Amino acid sequence: MLWTVLAAALIAVLPWALTRLAEKAARLGRLGPVFLCYAAGLLGSFFFRAVRADMSVVTTLYSVFVMLAIPLILFSADLGAVRRLARPMLLSFALGTAAVLVTASAGFVLFARAFPAPRTSADVAAMLIGMYTGGTPNTLAIGKALGAGDSILLVQTADIVCGGAYFLLLISVLPGLFGKVLRPYRGGGRMEAEAGALTQELGSERKAGRTAGVVKSVALAAGCVLVSAALALALPVEEGAGRFSNIDRYTAVIMLAVTTLGVALSFVKKVRALPGSYDAGQYLILMFSVGMGLCFDLESLGAMLTVLVMVLFIELVTVALHLLLAKLCGIDRDTMMITSVAGVFGPAFIIPAARALKNDEIVLPGILCGILGYAIGNYLGIGLGTLFLRLAG
């Protein structure tokens, strides 16, 4: 009991402390709060394993965190604004998404025999579909829905290595290289004129009533989880479910249901206007990261190199295929690159990427594509992941 309380305290406090540390230390800030929380949890797992602590309660806790985080993050998303995107931007994002689906499916087949357990390749491929259409929240949700276990941490760590290298190239040499393949950007100024007001509408977090807004948002998210759990429990028990167990089926239904409810409620203006919901969801993701690290099975580190190679393969081929499709469809350089950033990295990386391209007009469309990726990532990852698991046996 004592170790459980200590673990719960670490999960609650470490995200706040590490976020503040990342803000003050530039080098740590480059790693990001999510990586720091995983790393801190992983270091803590040595201690809890040494004292033989029962981590079952902690496992339940961090599973609940990611279920709550998904609707909280989606509540503040103005998905209705996606209709304002120009056709080339939507087409490029769709091409990037298609590239991820094709490449992840190929990766599942190619790496199936590279892991000790056949299902690991399916788990990794499915999580990367969520990672490269939406972001970390989708990866965590898909991993929990499919029962991926320790593979979640391995994928997250490998993506930090591969993704970090890609982003450095993206803001340095790739604009010049891609510019030799794709035509230059020709903007009309319409999105730039709307950017100020709509960006404020998308990202504003009012200070007034923030605490009350967080409480209401969390309560609403908890309601989404309860409704989703009730739907899952209404499912009949599947006899001989095999590797994809009934528990995994229930979790998958819950994740898809909370995503659907989160998307639906984002269209309610009063819900979308609640201050602090997005930040609360992100904090729960950090708490999940600490808890996942604390419960990590160190024996799984043996699969790290294979996961790293698989992540590198899927990321590189996805970008190359997206570039080829953009060339065939006449997409310009800036549009292709900003939608690639939206899919591979998410909304938070749009502004530095746009600065590297010296194009402020693509900031808002990039953010909207990133938000759209959050909304569709779970459906695509869990849907194809379920198919992959069936095929893996």
| Model pLDDT for residues 62-95, shown as the tens digit of each residue | 778 888 988 998 888 777 777 777 788 999 999 9
Residues 6+ apart with CB under 8 A from 73: 137, 262, 277, 278, 281, 282, 374
Question: Is-contact 380 101, C-beta < 8 A?
Answer: yes
Amino acid found at 131: M
Q: Provide the 10 A C-beta neighbour count for residue 324.
A: 13
Residue range 188-205: mean pLDDT, rounded: 46
DSSP state, residue 63: H
pLDDT at 198 (0 to 100): 45
Q: Report the alpha-carbon angle 209-347-73, nearest 5.
A: 45
pLDDT at 334 (0 to 100): 93
Per-residue confidence at 200, pLDDT binned at 50, 70, 90? very low
Q: Identify the CA nearest to 235 among candidates 224, 222, 246.
A: 246
Q: Return the CA Rg of the chain.
A: 20
Instruction: Kindly tell me if the per-residue pLDDT of 278 is higher than 60.
Output: yes
Per-residue confidence at 184, pLDDT binned at 50, 70, 90? very high
CA distances from 101 to 193, 363, 380 (A): 34, 25, 8
Q: In 238-302, which ranges are continuous DSSP H helix?
A: 246-266, 269-272, 277-294
Instruction: Kindly tell me if the per-residue pLDDT of 225 is higher than 70.
Output: yes
Q: Provide the 10 A C-beta neighbour count for residue 18.
A: 23
DSSP state, residue 243: T
Residues 6+ apart with CB under 8 A from 96: 318, 322, 339, 340, 342, 343
Which tens digits make up the pLDDT trace of 132-173? 998 888 888 899 888 888 788 888 888 888 888 888 888 889
Residue that wins the pLDDT comparison between 93 and 7: 93
Instruction: Kindly tell me if the per-residue pLDDT of 202 is higher than 60.
Output: no
Q: Identify the CA nearest to 38 among candidates 167, 165, 121, 143.
A: 143
Per-residue confidence at 195, pLDDT binned at 50, 70, 90? very low
Residue range 228-243: mean pLDDT, rounded: 71
Instruction: Kindly tell me if the per-residue pLDDT of 2 is higher than 50.
Output: yes
Percent of the chain with pLDDT strictly greater than 70: 87
Question: Is-contact 122 389, C-beta < 8 A?
Answer: yes
In angstroms, rounded to a whole number, what is the distance separating the alpha carbons of residues 131 and 140? 9
Instruction: Kindly tell me if the per-residue pLDDT of 299 is higher than 80.
Output: no
CA distances from 163 to 220, 345, 349 (A): 34, 8, 12
Per-residue confidence at 126, pLDDT binned at 50, 70, 90? very high
Task: Select the highest-mean-pLDDT range: 42-56, 78-92, 351-365, 373-387.
Answer: 373-387
Tokens of 42: 């992983």
CA distances from 51 to 2, 45, 88, 312 (A): 11, 10, 57, 36
